[in-house]
Amino acid sequence: MSAEAPVPGNTRDSSPQWHRRGLRSALSLIAIQVGLLGAMAAWMRVEEATQPRGWAPTAPVDPELPIRGRYVSLVLRLPAPTMAPRGDKAPQGGGERVARVVLRVRDGRLLAVPALPGDSNPHNAWRRDGTPDPGATTVEPAVDLEPPLAFFLPEHSADPSRRPPGERLWAEVVLPRWGPPRPLRLGVERQPGRIEPLPSR
């Protein structure tokens, strides 16, 4: 009785050498991904150490990210002292509801200034001209930066955006060379002008 002939196509799949090649390819891919994540984390740490950072008042909004995990979605509410009132046809400011702004840090606080042609890393913002802002001591031109920022929370931590009356949530952010501000930590303003950082996440 003759032995059965090997089924064509099965020899390569069952070869130990073929399995070793597949394992090496998978390990190489994992090593590349780990290297990319490490390089990204290192770059973010460099930016946090070298790029401007500042505090900004926030307002919570409904979260929209289609991802798992606990986070709060925060809009940065920034003063825009050099922006002309809406409806004024001055060169800086214009009369539109949506503004293009660049971000600056002054005395540790974040503010928005009208973007000019050639400015790098401009952002979209909604103007809040004449809208009283709870907790603010003065009414001045201001903007809500778009899009909202996601601040991720530990598994069992309380929602920091739920503040008692008289308190206001702030976020310290770093301004990368490109892209939106990146949140670093949160703080609470209980007394005008004094921000108390919340415990680190």
Tens of pLDDT, residue by residue over 188-197, are: 999 888 999 9
> Cis bond leading into 8, ω under 30°?
no
Which pLDDT belongs to residue 181? Answer: 93
Of 174, 101, 164, 108, give the one whose Cα is nearest residue 135. Answer: 164
Q: Which range, 59-73, 79-93, 123-137, is most confident? A: 59-73
Does residue 22 sit in helix, strand or coil? Answer: helix
| Residue 89 clears pLDDT 50, i.e. is over it | no
The answer to whether the CB of 190 falls within 8 A of the CB of 167 is: yes
**pTM of the entire structure?**
0.67
Residue 85, both tokens: 């009132």
| Residue 95 clears pLDDT 50, i.e. is over it | no
Q: What is the mean pLDDT of residues 149-177?
A: 88
d(CA 12, CA 16) in angstroms, rounded, equals 9
Which pLDDT belongs to residue 128? Answer: 77
| Residue 167 clears pLDDT 50, i.e. is over it | yes
Q: Which residue has the higher pLDDT, 15 or 181?
A: 181
Which pLDDT belongs to residue 178? Answer: 87
| Residue 40 clears pLDDT 80, i.e. is over it | no
d(CA 56, CA 171) in angstroms, rounded, equals 5
